[in-house]
Amino acid sequence: MNIDVRFLGIDEGCQRLSLIDTGTNDFIWTLDLGDFPLARDMQRLDDERVLVGYDHGFFELEWRTGRVLSHCSRWKEVSAVTRFADGSTLVTGMDLDGRGGVTVLTLNPDGDTVRIARREGDYVRLMRTTPQNTYLLCTNDHIKETTVDLVEIRRFSSPGFEHAWKAERLADGSTLVSAGYGAFMAIFDSAGALVRRFGAASQMPGAVAPFFYASYGLLPDGHLLVANWQGHGPDNGHKGQQLLKFGQEGRLVATWSAPDRISSLQGLLPL
């Protein structure tokens, strides 16, 4: 089975963002991220716009053309951004208010900070909200589920989590996690118990070379796309397969790479 999808991909190794059609191998446009370093997070806002989080803040992008519509640059070490339907924005990162630790700022639609939540910690990546009005914080070797004040409710962990990248609550109440350097995916049930791990090197053909499972995206048919990041800097494209597609039971069904165009695929947003 081939991967036939159009997606926004962040090439962390070369600091570029592209709109890619894997069916035709076309790079429809590419944006140099020199002005937006360490872009990690992406959220589709509507039929035209995507929100992209980067080290100093976030910007809005017209996804069909790659045109930057607006940007906000006010911090350092931003790792995740979330826009709500009312226009407010959550900004997550390290030491965003000068007091250290993990910080989540709430901005109103005008960009004013109206709430600050913080807790001790030295690592956080792609924070996600849940339908239960809680936060999922990737904190290196485990996932914390917290209240909006960052009070821990419970945690999800599995041997091998290292720089765990993204956790997301699924419609059935389970939680899907990419394990970072653990290079596998994990599913936890609604009670927080580990149900299944998949995508590990022992389960993959050698050419896949799982190294670091970063962002992922669920497709309408239930298949899962996973970015298999291969390292910092250029010239990593030939080390392994960059985009992996898993079936609903966690079986690898297809891969895709563009080794001469992408060094290390990290961010991923199917469109």
Q: Is the pLDDT of residue 3 over 80?
A: yes
Q: How far apart are CA 78 and CA 69, in angstroms?
A: 20
CA 247 vs. chain centroid, Å, equals: 19
Say what the pTM is: 0.96
Could you tell me the sign of the dihedral formed by the alpha carbons of 202, 206, 212, 213, in that order?
negative
Query: Which pair of tokens denotes residue 21?
Result: 């059609």
Going by pLDDT thresholds of 50, 70 and 90, the confidence category of residue 261 is very high
DSSP state of 126: B
What are the tokens at 258?
């563009």
Cα 83 from Cα 72, distance rounded (Å)? 13
Whether the Cβ atoms of residue 134 and residue 152 lie closer than 8 Å to each other: no
Q: How many domains are there within the chain?
A: 1
214 part of a folded domain: yes
1 assigned to some structural domain: no
Using alpha carbons only, how large is the chain's radius of gyration in Å?
A: 17
| Cβ 26 vs Cβ 4: under 8 Å | no
Q: Is 96 helix (H, G, I), strand (E, B) or coil?
A: coil
Helix (H, G, I), strand (E, B) or coil at 231: coil
Q: In this predicted structure, what is the pLDDT of residue 194? A: 97
Q: Give residue 59's identity as a one-letter amino acid code.
A: F
The one-character DSSP state at 125 is -
* pLDDT tens digit sequence for 4-51: 999 999 999 999 999 999 999 999 999 999 999 999 999 999 999 999
Task: Answer whether residue 152 is part of any domain.
Answer: yes
Cβ of 211: how many Cβ atoms within 10 Å? 18
Give the model confidence (pLDDT) of 91-121 as tens digits.
Answer: 999 999 999 999 999 999 999 999 999 999 9
pLDDT value for 2:
78
| 48 φ, ψ (degrees, to nearest 5) | -120, -30
DSSP 240: S
- Both tokens assigned to 61: 């992008």
Q: Round to whole Å and give the CA distance between 136 and 133.
A: 10
Read off the tokens for 179.
Answer: 């394990």
Model confidence over 154-182: pLDDT tens digits?
Answer: 999 999 999 999 999 999 999 999 999 99
Domain extent, residue 132, equals 6-270
CA distances from 240 to 135, 143, 227, 235 (A): 33, 27, 11, 12
**CATH label of the domain that carries residue 210:** 2.130.10.10
131: Cβ contacts below 8 Å, ≥ 6 apart = 169
Tell me how far apart the alpha carbons of residues 226 and 265 are, in angstroms, rounded to a whole number.
Answer: 10
Whether 248 shows a pLDDT value over 90: the answer reads: no
DSSP SS3 for 238? coil
